[in-house]
Amino acid sequence: MGAASRRTHDSGLTSALDASGLPIPLIAVALVAASAVLLGTEIPGSAYTLAAAGSFAIYLLDRAWPFSPEDAANRPERATWHGDHRWYRFPALILAIGLSLWALLQLPRAVWLFAAALTVLAGLHAVPLGGRRLKASAWLKPSLVAAAWAAGAVLIVPFATGGEITRAVVLLLAVRGLTVAANVVLTDLADSEGDAAAGLTSLATRSGERAVRSLASALIIAGAVLCLAQFVRSGNVLWSVEALGLVLYLAVVQRRAALPEPIVLDLLVAWPAVTWLVSRL
């Protein structure tokens, strides 16, 4: 039985959270905060504002504006919510852009260039170019989304502090990229029917549920192995906390007959919030 046919309807709360995009800035802040503690540094509050507002703006452009016709089949609750809350989309986008610009003015110029490059990278998969979105490619979509989230969550730390790109930075980039890529391909399982109807080719529409779960599991395991290797090398227990989160994610992928709603999968990516909390104990 396909994932799309087993999908449950979102509750009113999860539908509102998904459509509004409000969990997105919280997830971004969690990832950046964990990156800072894993890399052993502090970053200014404006860097967190930039991460939250920038990710929120990209989400709104991708999902709240009419660039995603597949949502008519995949996420009808989202379309209904935006139809009932027409006042929300434009002010939310203006606020996100305004906060992003304010935060940039507080940060070093290196962050400006980084933010510009990241905006282009994040927007490439969503905005139509010549009538076709890059998210129509099975491999480009997870690659671009993973690269954008990993870069935004990790590289902002050295850029905001004038630090170096160390081995730990590169390793953390890989961990975040692997985790987000796994999340994207799993979420596409629930959306495979609508994606196919809209002419989008995802790994789910091409390969089916078993192959997608296997690929996601391999990506998650690779991320956990990298975390454990860094834990052994550095002795920093926070890397083992990161690995634990990935093990729990793997258990969800392997043990559940039906995957959770996509918004729950997104929240699993925010496990690094636990890493940050442990660092404060």
The Cα–Cα gap between 74 and 95 comes to 28
Tens of pLDDT along 60-109? Answer: 877 665 556 556 556 667 777 777 777 888 899 999 999 999 999 999 98
Q: Which is nearest to 224 in space by CA: 204, 254, 202?
A: 254
Tens of pLDDT along 29-67? Answer: 999 999 999 999 999 999 999 999 999 998 887 766 555
Tens of pLDDT along 205-262? Answer: 677 778 888 999 999 999 999 999 999 999 999 999 999 999 999 999 887 777 777 7
- What pLDDT score does 1 carry? 30
The Cα–Cα gap between 267 and 51 comes to 16
The pTM (predicted TM-score) of the whole model is 0.86
